[in-house]
Amino acid sequence: MSYFERSNELFESVKTPYIGATLLALVAAFPLVANAIGGLPFLTSIAIEMMIFAVFAMSFNLLVGYTGYVSFGHTVFLGSGAYMTAILMKKFSVPFIAAAPAAVVGTGLFALVVGGIAFRRSGVYFAMITLGVAQVFYTLFQSWNYVGGDTGIIIDPPVVFGYEFNPFEPMGYYYLALATVVVTYLFTRYLVRSPFGHVLQAIRENEERARAVGYSVRTFKLAAFSVSGGLAAVAGVLYAAYFTQVAPGSTLYWTTTGDGLFMILIGGMGTLVGPIIGSVFVIGTQYALSTYLVDFIPEGAPTLIARLPERWPLLLGLLFMLTVLRFRSGIAGGLGFSRVRSIDDVLARVSGSAEPDEAAVKSDGGDEK
Amino acid sequence: MPEIDRRHLLKAASATSVAGLTGLAGCLGGGGGDADSLSIGVVTDTSGPYAHLGNSVIRGIKLGLAQSLDADTEELADSNTVEGSGVTVEILTEDSGLAADTGRQKARKLVQSDEVDILQGSVSSSVAAAVQDVATNASTPMFIDTAAATSLTGENCNKYTFRTSQTTYQDALAGGKYAAENLGSNFYFVGADYSWGHDSVAQWKSVIEENGGSAAGESFVSPGTSNYTPYLQKADESGADSIVVALTGTDGIRFSRDLADFGTDFDATATGVTTVPWMQQVGTAATGFSAIPKYFWPFPDNSTNEWIIEQYSSQWNTVPSIFTSGAHAAGYAIGQGMQSAGSNDADPLIEEWHGMTIEKTARGDGAYTIRECNHQAEFPMYLGHFEETSGGSMDVEPVLDDTFEAQASIRPCGETGCSGIEL
Amino acid sequence: MTPLSVGLGDLATTFVNGVSYGMILVLVALGLSLVFGLMGVLNFAHGALFMLGGYIGLAVMELTGGGITGFVLALIIAPLVVAAIGAGLERTVYKPLYDTEPIYQLLLTFGLAVVIEEAVKYIWGAAPPGVPPRPAVFDGAVVFMGISLPYYRVFTILLGAAVVAGTALFLSRTRFGLIVRAGVYNTDRTATLGLNVERAFTAVFGLGAFIAALGGVVYIYRAIEPSVGASIILPAFIVVIVGGLGSFWGSVIAGLLIGIIWQFAAVYAPVPAGTVIFLVMIAVLLLRPQGILGEAEVEV
């Protein structure tokens, strides 16, 4: 089981805490700098959005990167967290401070139910069941008047212990989101390094063997799914608090799951920092291309050039493909954080498989070391 | 925070760094309006399936501004600035796609970083609600130019929100009444399965029933549906003689094709369905529709509309969209308000627009009035159908049947759900 | 009140219309199923190839001046072009991933779907494109036993049936088809027998793209826009899963079945029909995970 000793993550070795602390200090100081150069509110707004989706991507990564299950419906948990927060606040006048934990716990339980159904299958089938669940909710919420249909629920910014969050002076949001990212990061780090996390990774590497060793694989998967859903709900709570509008098109539609996959993969799947890097990168690229690229297009340029800023997903998609084809370990991998796998597991997979050659090749190809 | 001028507070906050950070902005700024420059931030879909509508709205605003400021229109297609009568108006466009969260972020950016004086948008009612929320909280006036949800100038009305495009109820009042009187007596309703579709169906139904028609049944269809025969079958079984359709985009196209193939004996009327790209796709299948309560470029017969059509064909080599009339009115109202207020400050502008009669519009001189009670524009409505044509680039052309008076096409102030507007 | 001359019966009508909708799903699902059977790749980008077929078909019709000639030429040329594009993609983009974990293949095809859709928007614009008038031969309907079926639907059903028959013959009667079937059964053993499985991969991918593009050209006279690929791929996935991943006849049967279920749900169910077919899929996955004709669960 040398895999567990060898995993190499940010903050892992004794040397890296300094890097981590420095980075954190820089991020914490960012609004001050952004403010000084004049782009304060918008840059800070984008940074908050990045952090919200970093939490979402981290939650998703726990499932995809560490347990090895690709869900196509993960956005339903972001939506669940956001909707529960908004409904509790708007319809039942529950204060944010109470609505938030309720939404997270509620979504964790909801995920337990969805997982109970979905984990009866694996692979593509699992992906399709989760997609099915998410699409059913999306379709129903689009026209359900109680939750505002496709316009969704609009709430007032939360007030916590007398502090009024204000989207126009987003410092409060910024540090709330930053704190959430740090806590989520530390939590997932703790989780994947705990015996629980080790079992998840064993399931990812070889589910049969994990079962053979005696683990109740189903229980572990369910627990992972529920925690992952609950964490997505944390992102959802932040989403509701910051955007103050929860609509099905942004929180329940499958393209949001797709964005999450983009973030995980480009950032570095199965690494702790990957989802954060991925979120910053994807959302950054999106806003940079859709907001600022247009300034560089000369007036009266030919149609195809003039259309470039509108087509930022094209560039992002090409980049995504390139990542899958050439840099499977993502940006985090390029920076030296890799998802290392022990040869034991590869061998185990080989011996446990009916088709040795193919399995060996397949198991080996996932990482670029 | 209605009592302090928050927008100036915000501007001040972002200009003075420390104040912005600590939230100690205090009561800086305020007053000091500028009489010769103005900026408008438009948040709409310029990249997605409704980009043709989003872009047409931007063109409409430019034309309205240019006409009100008597500006040179030579460079209108390529420039984001309209200049005339000593006033320079800059138009900043942000793409929201159809996502409310992106729209909200872009609206916040326009208000805070670009410090626009007026917000404008959006194709999707969900995005429009987001932009409205931002505009209201930032005490920035907003013009709605496309979204049709009644709640925007109904329950959610406020002094900052103005709308020059038509609401689902204006469509229903004109179209539903005309349909009940001319198309048949028993109606089946097919709507898109989201808020707009449900609202439209409910409103058309009530108008048709008030005018002596009856409702035979209704179906709601998820966007992206490929096949509409089940709904035609249900309409047929219900004994209806006419269908009211509230679908958009390619859903409307597919419905129209199925209607042409399967239900040639149904009279159909529609809201949303009938756009210019729709005409270009379905061709002669469009002839199945009548009692269409939309602005189509050949309908109004006046010099402003002629000017718009001429500008559209020379600048953009196409015809105006169904939203051009409202967008032009918004642009004209902004220019007109700016000139009479002599300021780009929110409060004097709002006072001008409150109850304003817009001098020149695509529906005739003085045809648009922004009502004091909910800041929704009332204007005459046109009703038309489509006929085959051999000339030109399209197979069908819109033909005008009837015109409805402005007051007859809008709900009385007491019924809008708006609790009144205090300046 | 005008009496309705075109009677739409009840159950029989629902059934026939369901079949004609199902045939479009079959056209998309066939290639999806073939590619999965042989290569084990669930191709998210397949819907985008369908949509691309429609756009290239439109371009062909514009060049040839439309009409029935233009439409027939589009039906021939567009699928060939898309097949070539598909084969090219298989060589360059998919091939390097056959040796990796399936999750990467899934992610790659997801990215590719986005790229194709965005490329189409980039070239032709994001709004629905203008379409030349439908050839007059398709105006009108066949009426039998009180059911009326428009010619265009009849044409869709016949074309779909011809494609299914042609593909079945190709797979069962040609030497190449034999290699493909052997490859589906066991890729490695087929390769060790000295048969060129790689070429079969490329050819099958091209064939799948060809069929999808054919569906796309037919879809021009439903409604075409860049996102139709993304909206058709979800029901097509449901079809291949319900039919049994990789099963040729399973996809055909499931395509028609889902078309019919959808149609009945739209007429009779109190909830949206799209929701119903997702629930059907989930039920099938839980009760009979191998699908209607699938043999065993394929681990992906």
Contact B49 C127 (CB under 8 A): yes
CB A231 within 8 A of CB A59: yes
Convert the pLDDT of each residue in C239-283 to its tens digit. 988 888 778 899 999 999 999 998 888 888 887 887 888 888 888
What is chain A's alpha carbon radius of gyration, rounded to the nearest angstrom?
21
Q: Is C194 exposed, middle or buried (0-12, 13-18, 19+ CB in 10 A)?
A: exposed
Give the residue ranges of DSSP H helices in chain C.
Answer: 11-39, 46-64, 67-89, 102-124, 151-173, 175-185, 187-192, 197-219, 228-243, 248-268, 273-287
Q: Give percent above pLDDT 70 in chain C.
A: 91
**Residue C288 carries which DSSP code?**
-
What's the domain count of chain A? 1
Look at residue A299 in the predicted model and tell me its pLDDT. 66
pLDDT band at B362 (very low <50, low <70, confident <90, very high): very high
In this structure, the strands spanning A153-154 and A245-246 are antiparallel
Q: Which of B359, B337, B340 is nearest to B350 (CA)?
A: B337
Q: How far apart are the C-alpha atoms of B226 and C228, rounded to whole Å?
A: 9
Write phi, then psi, for B82 (nearest 5 degrees): -115, 130
- Give the separation between CA A128 and CA C242, rounded to whole angstroms: 11
Lowest-pLDDT range of B286-300, C17-31, C193-207: C193-207
State how far the Cα of C267 lies from the Cα of C281, in Å rounded to an integer. 19
pLDDT level of residue B33 (50, 70, 90 thresholds): low
Judging contacts by C-beta atoms under 8 Å, the chain C residues touching residue B236 are 4, 7-8
What CA–CA distance (Å, rounded) separates B226 from B251?
Answer: 8
C-beta separation of C160 from C259 below 8 A: no
Task: Compute the distance between CA of residue B57 and CA of residue B143 in angstroms, rounded to an integer.
Answer: 11
Cite the DSSP H helix spans in B300-403.
303-316, 324-341, 346-353
Which residues in chain C are contacts of B392 at CB distance < 8 A? none
- pLDDT for residue A344 is more than 60: no
Q: How confident is the model at residue B21 (pLDDT cuts 50, 70, 90)?
A: very low
Q: Residue A123: which CATH number?
A: 1.10.3470
- Give the span between the Cα atoms of B198 and B190, in whole angstroms: 9
Q: Report d(CA B75, CA B79) in Å as an integer.
A: 6
Subunits with 3+ C-beta pairs closer than 8 A to A = B, C
Closest to B16 in 3D by CA, of B5, B6, B26, B1: B26
Q: Omega of the bond prior to B122 within 30 degrees of 0, cis?
A: yes
Enumerate neighbours of C (3 or more CB pairs within 8 A): A, B
Interface contact A45-B108, CB threshold 8 A: yes
Structure tokens at B18: 């420390």
What is the crossing angle of helices B100-112 and A40-64, to 10°?
150
From A52, A33, A100, A1, select the one nearest A282 (Cα to Cα): A52
- CA distance from start to end of chain B: 14
Q: Using CB atoms within 10 A of its CB, is residue C2 exposed (0-12), middle (13-18) or buried (19+)?
A: exposed
Task: Tell me how crowded residue C187 is: count the other CB atoms within 10 A of its CB.
Answer: 19
Region A273-282: what's the mean pLDDT? 92
Q: What percentage of chain A exceeds 70 in pLDDT? A: 84
- pLDDT of residue A362 exceeding 80: no
Rounded to an integer, what distance in angstroms lies between the CA atom of residue A77 and that of residue A108?
Answer: 8
How far, in Å, CA of A255 to CA of A249, rounded? 9
- CA atoms B213, B218, B223, B225: torsion sign: negative
Q: What single letter denotes the amino acid at residue B126? A: S
At position C268, the amino acid (one-letter code) is Y
| Alpha-carbon distance C250 to nearest alpha carbon in chain A (angstroms) | 16
Question: Does B78 contact A310 at a Cβ distance shorter than 8 Å?
Answer: no
List the structure tokens of B289.
């529709």
pLDDT surpassing 50 at residue A12: no
The pLDDT value recorded for residue A238 is 97
Helix (H, G, I), strand (E, B) or coil at B155: coil
SS3 B133: helix
Q: What percent of chain A has pLDDT over 90?
A: 40
Give the separation between CA A257 and CA B41, rounded to whole angstroms.
Answer: 30
Give the number of C-alpha atoms closer than 13 A to the C-alpha of residue B241, restricted to the C-beta side.
13
Q: Which residues of B touch A300 (CB under 8 A)?
A: 78
Please measure the distance between the N-terminal and C-terminal CA atoms of chain C and give it in whole angstroms: 58
Contact of A6 with chain C, judged by CB distance below 8 Å, is answered with no
Q: How far apart are the first and last CA of chain A?
A: 18
Q: Is the dihedral of CA C71, C72, C78, C79 positive or negative?
A: positive
Q: Which of residues 154-193 of B touch A (CB under 8 A)?
A: 193
- The predicted structure's pLDDT at residue B377: 95
Cβ contacts (< 8 Å) between B96 and chain A: which residues?
none
A154 touches chain B (CB under 8 A): yes
The arithmetic mean of pLDDT across residues C167-177, rounded, is 86
Report yes or no on A369 lying in a domain.
Answer: no
Inform me whether the pLDDT recorded for A17 exceeds 70. no
Residues 297-356 on B with a CB inside 8 Å of A are none
B377-378/A153-154 β-pairing: unpaired
List Cβ neighbours of A329 (8 Å cut-off, separation of 6 or more): A268, A269, A271, A337, A338, A339, A367, A368
Highest mean pLDDT among B70-79, B372-381, C139-148: B372-381
Average pLDDT (B275-289) is 87
Q: Which of A30, A150, A242 to mutate to test the interface with B (most CBs of B within 10 A)?
A: A150
Alpha-carbon distances of C31 from A119, B48, C15, C25, C293, rounded to whole Å: 28, 28, 25, 11, 17
Write the DSSP assignment of B268-322 as a string of letters.
Answer: EEEESS--HHHHHHHGGGGGGB--B-S--TTS--SHHHHHHHHHHHHHHSS---T
Subunits touching B (CB < 8 Å, at least 3 pairs)?
A: A, C
Per the CB < 8 A criterion, the answer to whether C78 and A340 are in contact is no
Are B299 and B273 in contact by the 8 Å Cβ rule? The answer is: no
Domain spanning B169-293+381-409 has what CATH number? 3.40.50.2300
Map tokens 């939360």 to a residue. Answer: A158
What DSSP designation does B123 have? S
Closest-CA residue to C101 (of A123, A48, A330, B400): A123
Res A243 pLDDT > 60: yes
* Ranges for all domains in chain B classified under CATH 3.40.50.2300: 31-166+301-379, 169-293+381-409
A236 Cβ contact partners less than 8 Å away, ≥ 6 residues apart:
A56, A77, A78, A79, A80, A81, A82, A83, A84, A85, A103, A107, A251
Distance CA A102, CA C176 (A): 60
pLDDT band at B263 (very low <50, low <70, confident <90, very high): low
CB-based contact (8 Å) between A368 and chain C? no
Tell the CATH superfamily of the B31-166+301-379 domain.
Answer: Response regulator (3.40.50.2300)
Amino acid at site A256: T
CB proximity list for C93: less than 8 A, separation 6 or greater: A321, A325, C108, C112
User: In residues, how long is chain B?
Assistant: 423
The answer to whether A145 contacts chain B (CB < 8 Å) is yes
> Of B18, B34, B14, B23, whose CA–CA distance to B346 is shortest?
B34
Would you say the C-alpha torsion C222, C227, C228, C229 has a positive or negative sign?
positive
Question: Which chain B residues are within 8 Å of A32, Cβ to Cβ?
Answer: 17, 21
User: Is it the case that residue A341 has pLDDT exceeding 80?
Assistant: no
Measured between beta carbons, the chain C residues lying within 8 angstroms of A358 are 187-188
pLDDT for position B394:
81
What's the mean per-residue pLDDT of chain C?
A: 84
User: Residue B153 has what pLDDT?
Assistant: 93
Please provide residue B320's backbone torsions phi and psi, each rounded to the nearest 5 degrees: -60, 155
* C273·B230 Cβ contact <8 A: yes
The chain-wide mean pLDDT, for chain A, equals 82
**Cβ distance B176 to B203 under 8 Å?**
yes
Residue C112 has a pLDDT of 93
Contacts of B36 (CB under 8 A, 6+ apart): B86, B87, B88
**Other CB atoms closer than 10 Å to residue A361's CB: what's the count?**
15
Mean pLDDT in residue range C41-69: 92
What is residue A289's DSSP assignment? I
Residue A364 has pLDDT above 80, yes or no: no
Is A39 touching B (CB cutoff 8 A)? yes
Range of the structural domain that residue A99 is part of: 2-364
Longest distance between any two alpha carbons in chain A, whole Å: 68
